[in-house]
């Protein structure tokens, strides 16, 4: 299944006999909480999923957004109506940053049919389609979480990949260079990592660039299907967006879920600054 869906295709599915489970995962690093956006208006039939509570475990040494426990994620997805035999569509405000993390997590835990609404909530409303403040009645799902269906990296694996393959750092360039660090206690990047800011994967409208342009972008950074590739960010959210972009480009890649927030939790891990 192609990982993206556009607004016209989603509109057709939602009006059909077997609509997908529709999950609203709007989230903002510095607030306000995504539930506030959801309550102001969301796609008809959409169920809100809280990224911090439902798509990540508690913050700690494993990072700010570590993987949730399988039982916790399974419970959250069943609450949202996710079923094994029912496709899922996820969306956020526009650029798919949060939606990609939910897409990746569902795929990691074994759901085979998950798509991201390209352009998100903004694309839906700009198309003149209706939204609602009504929260749907949800029939509980039967999704069973089976972890390990997508490749992941830990700190040791990320360090090895930075030397033997291509490890992409999805954060903004100034954070990669160590000039600023607004969230984590140490600035810089994993030695050997290559900077590939997530915003370079999408246009100004929040939609992903065409696959050929994404392939070209990643190839210039050395990331092709001929080498081992991984990605990290601050806490494993925007790096999932990088994994989605790499998937669109035809490049398999592993996610370092703990990312920089896990890396700097161990003072023995080296830190690089500057352009390389």
According to DSSP, the residues that pair with 89 across neighbouring strands are: 22, 115
Phi, psi of 131 (to 5 degrees): -125, 175
Residues 153-166: b if buried by 16+ CB within 10 A, e if exposed: bebebbbbbbeebb
> Would you call 145 helix, strand, or coil by DSSP?
coil
Q: Does residue 7 have an active-site annotation?
A: no
Q: In this structure, what DSSP letter does residue 189 have?
A: B
The structure tokens listed for 53 are: 């509570």
According to DSSP, the residues that pair with 195 across neighbouring strands are: 169
According to DSSP, the residues that pair with 166 across neighbouring strands are: 229
The secondary structure of the chain in percent helix, strand, coil, rounded to multiples of 5, reads 35, 15, 55
The full length of the chain comes to: 276
Q: Which of 94, 152, 170, 233 is catalytic?
A: 233
How many Cα atoms within 13 Å fall on the side-chain side of residue 34?
A: 24
Could you give the CA distance from residue 105 to residue 66 in angstroms, rounded to a whole number? 11
| Active site residues per annotation | 233
């Amino acid at each position: 299944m192609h990982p993206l869906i556009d607004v016209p295709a989603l509109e057709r599915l939602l009006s059909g006999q077997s609509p997908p489970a529709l999950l609203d995962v709007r989230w903002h690093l510095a607030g306000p909480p995504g539930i506030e956006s959801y309550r102001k208006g969301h796609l008809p039939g959409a169920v809100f999923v809280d990224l911090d509570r439902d798509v990540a475990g508690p913050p700690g040494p494993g990072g700010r957004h570590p993987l949730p426990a399988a039982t916790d994620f399974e419970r959250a997805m069943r609450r949202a109506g996710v079923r094994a035999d029912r496709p899922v569509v996820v969306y956020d405000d526009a650029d798919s940053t949060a939606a990609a993390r939910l897409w990746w997590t569902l795929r990691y835990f074994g759901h085979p049919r998950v798509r991201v609404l390209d352009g998100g909530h903004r694309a839906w409303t700009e198309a003149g389609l209706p939204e609602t403040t009504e929260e749907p009645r949800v029939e509980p799902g039967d999704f069973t979480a089976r972890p390990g269906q997508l490749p992941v990296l830990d700190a040791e694996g990320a360090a090895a990949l930075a030397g033997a393959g291509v490890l992409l750092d999805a954060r903004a360039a100034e954070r990669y260079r160590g000039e600023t660090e607004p969230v984590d206690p140490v600035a810089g990047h994993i030695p050997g990592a290559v900077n590939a800011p997530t915003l370079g994967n999408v246009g100004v409208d929040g939609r992903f660039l065409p696959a050929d342009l994404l392939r070209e972008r990643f190839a210039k950074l050395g990331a092709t299907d001929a080498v081992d590739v991984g990605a990290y960010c601050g806490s494993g959210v925007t790096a999932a967006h990088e994994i989605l972009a790499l998937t669109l480009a035809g490049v398999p890649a592993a996610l370092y879920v703990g990312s920089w927030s896990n890396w700097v939790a161990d003072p023995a891990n080296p830190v690089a600054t500057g352009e390389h």
